[in-house]
Structure 1
C-alpha cells in the first residue's frame, strides 16, 4: 500500500509540474516562442523527457510486478493475441513508395509499417467496441 501512495504523490507532483510548464508555454505565446528560436523550450523538453522516462519505468515495474503476481498463462495469451493482431495487420498492409508534401521519399517498408499500425488500431478498436456492446447486451439479458 505504501508504494501506491508514493506513486500517487509522484503522479500529483508530475501533473502539477506539467500544468506549470504548460502555463509557461501559453503565457509566452506562439510568436514569442518563434521569435526566440525556441530558447527556453529546451528546459521544458528535458523535463518532458524526464517525466516520460519516469512514467515508462513505472509502467514497466508495475507490469513486471503484475505478471509475477498474477496468472502468467493469461498474460502470455494476451501478449500472443496482440502479436497475432500485429501479424495480421502486417499481412493486410500494403507498402508503396511515395513522396511527402515536402518532397521526401517514404520507403515501401515505412509505408507498410504505417499501414500495419493503422490496421492494428482498427482491429483493436472494433474488438473493444464489440466487447462493450456484448457486455451491455449480456447485462440487459441477464436481469
Structure 2
C-alpha cells in the first residue's frame, strides 16, 4: 500500500472524528471542547511529522546547497529580528495586575516574531512584484 493511500485513510478517519466532535459541541455539550482540542493537537502533530518526512526526503533528493542557503537566510532573519526587538518598549503593569504572566522576555519574543513576519512579508511581496515586472518586460 502506498504512502498516499495511507495518508488518505488517516485523513478520512480524522475528518470523521472531527465531524462527530464538532456535532457534539454544536449540540451543546461544552465538555467536548477539550476533546476537540486533543484532536487538533493530534492533527497538528501528524502534519508536522509528515512535513518533516517530506522535507528530509526532498532535501536528499534535490540540491542540498540551495536548501541550506535558504534555511540559513531564514535563521539570519530570525536572529536579526530578535536583536532588533527590545522587550522593554511595552508597559507590562496592566497585564501583570490582571494575573497574566507577561515578562520582558515574552515581550521580546513577540516583538521578534512580529519583526520576522514583517521582514518575510516584505521579501515575499517584493519577490512577487519583481517576478511580475520581469514577466512584463520579457514579453
TM-score by length of 1: 0.80
Alpha-carbon distance, 1:127 to partner: 0.6
Please give the alpha-carbon distance, in whole angstroms, between the structure 2 residues aligned to 1:17 and 1:141.
52
CA shift for structure 1 position 77: 0.4
Q: How many residues are matched?
A: 135
- 1:4 corresponding residue in structure 2: 4
Considering Cα pairs closer than 8 Å and 6+ residues apart, tell me whether 1 or 2 has the greater RCO: 2
Q: CA deviation at 1:103?
A: 4.5
- Which residue is 1:36 aligned to? none
Distance 1:142 1:15, change over 3 A: farther
2:119 to 115, 123, 139: 123
Contact 1:98 1:105 in 2 (8 A): no
CA distance in 2, matches of 1:126, 1:23: 41
Q: Which runs of 5+ in 2 are unaligned?
A: none
Stretches of 4+ aligned residues off by more than 4 angstroms: none
SS in 1 for 2:27: helix
Gaps of 5+ in 1: 34-38
* 1:141–1:27 CA distance, 2 compared to 1 (3 A): farther
Check if 1:64 corresponds to 2:56.
yes
Once residues 43 and 111 of structure 1 are traced to their aligned partners in structure 2, the CA distance between those partners, rounded to angstroms, is: 31
TM-score, with structure 2 as normaliser? 0.82
In 2, the alpha carbon distance for the partners of 1:16 and 1:67 equals 33
Cα RMSD, aligned residues only: 2.3
Q: Is the 8 A contact 2:87 2:107 kept in 1?
A: yes
- Alpha-carbon separation, structure 2, partners of 1:69 and 1:8: 24
